[in-house]
Amino acid sequence: MRSEVEAMRFVLVRRTAITLATLVVLALLALRTTSVRAKRMEELEKKAKEVAVGSQDVRSDLAAAGVSGIIAAGLASGDDLNPELISLG
């Protein structure tokens, strides 16, 4: 009886440790991903401001960022989006 209880306790402690380790790894990965994305958006905004002055072209960088990057860069620059150009489907 006692060995069964100890075995069950060992299993539960092991599962708890694995779960906590997994949560820590996932949290660190989420923080890293958020940091990288924020840095990338700052670089794109900086390049977009330089383009507004006329020094560089960032079309390829915005295309690499995808639609969300283009929309975010457009909103950050203060441009109004034409509702006729926005697709809901």
The full set of domain ranges for the chain reads 2-85
pTM (2 d.p.): 0.49
Q: Note down pLDDT in tens along the chain; length 89 residues.
A: 679 999 999 999 999 999 999 999 999 999 999 999 999 999 998 888 887 765 445 555 555 556 566 566 565 555 555 555 666 65
d(CA 78, CA 52): 12
State phi, psi for 80 to the nearest 5 degrees: -85, 140
Task: State the CB neighbour count (10 A cutoff) for residue 73.
Answer: 21
